[in-house]
Amino acid sequence: MTPPVLVEREGHVETWTLNRPEQRNPISEHDMIDALVECTDRANHDRDLRAVVITGAGTAFSAGANLNQVRGDEVPFGGPLSHSRDGYRHGIQRVPLALHGCEVPLVAAVNGPAVGAGFDLALMCDIRVASDTATFAESFVRVGLIPGDGGAWLLPRAIGLARATEMTLTGATIDAVTALQWGLVSRVVAGSDLLPAARGIADLIAANPPAIVRMGKRLLREQGQQSLASHLELAAALQPLAQRSSDHAEAVDAMVARRPAEFTGR
């Protein structure tokens, strides 16, 4: 059986490709959810993995939910109302919790439409690069739903409350140029350049001390929920760990000697 997520490794970087192109790569099905959660858990325990690129097979990044599933009798979209809450908690909501807790930087290579939960998947990543054919829509309202996978928490943090409100309550689609103007993506490139561009960013990340990168990502993740004083306390706890690492010493030695550094994650 074809795996829902293809994993390719090159050096310290992996590419995770959503692999349901005939359905536009929905992420609501159980095997896809399991695969994304398992990939993330494995990444957190793999000290040799330094960055991940996430993209979609075919012409779409992700259509979000499988509409046949939405129309069916399966929980959470069907079945007893009393079971629906658990259907979300033990289903699609595992994905934002897993990716938000991923210690390895995630680069979304948005190769086409990112719709509903597929859009939110891109928001779960740390960096987003878009092809010039990519589009983005927080489209739940158009099918009579709300963002059940964290989109209403993620989107305002990416583009601000006013624009997030507009996208959520209209369900309107924006193109890649608008996404760049709004700060949703960091760059827009031609389709043929998308994966090389995303991989280039991942390689730049992977060239740095991996344990320090994970600490830096943790600081960025926590800042939105902390006071400045609490944030400084966390930084004060992490910085001595960085200062006493072998990679810190190697970075300084290499800079003084004007040679490339070789980091080991220690």
Q: Where are the domains of the chain?
A: 5-206, 210-257
For 233, the token pair is 């306390």
Eight-state DSSP code of residue 28: -
Question: pLDDT of 185-225, one tens digit each?
Answer: 999 999 999 999 999 999 999 999 999 999 999 999 999 88
Name the fold adopted by 5-206.
Answer: 2-enoyl-CoA Hydratase; Chain A, domain 1 (3.90.226)
**pLDDT at position 88:** 82
The three-class DSSP label of residue 144 is: coil
d(CA 53, CA 102): 13
The conformation of residue 145, written as its DSSP 8-state character, comes to: -
142 and 164 Cβ atoms separated by less than 8 Å: no
Structure tokens at 251: 């970075």
- What is the token pair recorded at 190? 């031609």
Residues of the chain falling short of pLDDT 50: none
CB 212 within 8 A of CB 238: no
Structure tokens at 152: 């209403």
pLDDT of 71 reads 56
Please report the pLDDT score of residue 175 as a whole number.
Answer: 98
Instruction: Name the DSSP letter for residue 12.
Output: T
Per-residue confidence (pLDDT) for residue 225, from 0 to 100 = 87
The confidence score (pLDDT) of residue 79 equals 63
Angle at CA of residue 127, ends 126 and 131, nearest 5°:
145
Other beta carbons within 10 angstroms of residue 266's beta carbon come to: 12
Helix intervals (H) in 160-193: 161-170, 176-181
